[in-house]
Amino acid sequence: MRIDIISIFPEYFTPLEVSLVGKARERGILDIRLHQLRDWTHDVHKTVDDTPYGGGPGMVMKPEVWGEAIDAVIAQGGPEGAGLPRMIVPTPSGRPFTQRVALEYAREPWLLFTPARYEGIDARVVDEYRSRLRVDEVSIGDYVLAGGEAAVLVIVETVARLLPGVIGNAQSVADDSFAPGPMENLLEGPVYTKPPVWRGHPVPEILLSGHHARIARWRRDQALRRTFEMRPDLIARLDPESLDERDREVLAECRERHEAAAFRAGPQSMAD
């Protein structure tokens, strides 16, 4: 996979030289190219922003600079047979970035990221490139960052670990929280390693039993309980047809405990 990133802070992406992503780059699985946006400015101050039309706080990134930069990167060409890149614009107003979106991106041969600063990029840039490329405006969460670079790091690492050969054990990806399949919309349960007892805390006996079917059932039970506690919104998304009898028993137990705890806390908690 080829990834191009245009930014006024290309040094922000040093973390992509280490860990799994760094190893994937060394092995040629991932080709990441960084571009300094200011290289396409034409004034002595290398200006990339200006005041917004209509007034208001902050500055807006100029369309001329972004247009020249994107055109130049596209003109370099991508991997053989890749065609044009898929352009990804991180923004709090974009569609949510999820594991399913990451899987979608992992199937692309060429991604182009355009992280913004200040109040964002002039909207005409997205309008212009939508007529030529597939352009995604994507949000990694309901909050605002100082710039889109951190969001690009999140997306690139999420996508990179899905590429064949990046993670040694492919089952690790299949068992992830949110991964499509039996664990979709469920958080991963707790994990343990040696020693069997640490500071008085033992590993659950079932994990030492060697009984794979029972261990798998225990892990699913824990995933259901953790998701009910931490992300009840995900429980609401579960397909009832995907739940077996034991799943329903676990969720019923969770609801009973929740209702009992709310009752003990008083009428206000019950109302909430």
- Residue pLDDT, tens place only, 84-105: 999 999 999 999 999 999 999 9
Q: What is the pLDDT of residue 264?
A: 87
Residue 178 DSSP label: T
In 3D space, the residue among 220, 145, 136, 150 whose CA is nearest the CA of residue 185 turns out to be 220
Q: For residue 193, what are the contacts with CB-CB under 8 A and spacing of at least 6?
A: none
Is 0.95 surpassed by the pTM of this model? Answer: no
**Average pLDDT estimate for 37-56:** 96
Question: Is the pLDDT confidence value at 113 over 80?
Answer: yes
Q: For residues 142 and 5, is the Cβ–Cβ distance under 8 A?
A: no
pLDDT at 10: 98
The answer, yes or no, to whether the previous bond of 195 is cis (omega within 30 of 0) is yes
Which residues are tagged catalytic? Answer: 92, 119, 161, 176
3-state secondary structure (DSSP) of residue 172: helix
Instruction: State the Cα–Cα distance between residues 150 and 16, nearest whole angstrom.
Output: 12
- The pLDDT of residue 168 is above 80: no
Ordered alpha helix ranges (H), the chain: 19-26, 63-76, 99-106, 123-130, 149-160, 170-174, 212-230, 232-237, 245-265, 267-271
Helix or strand holding residue 9 (H, E): none
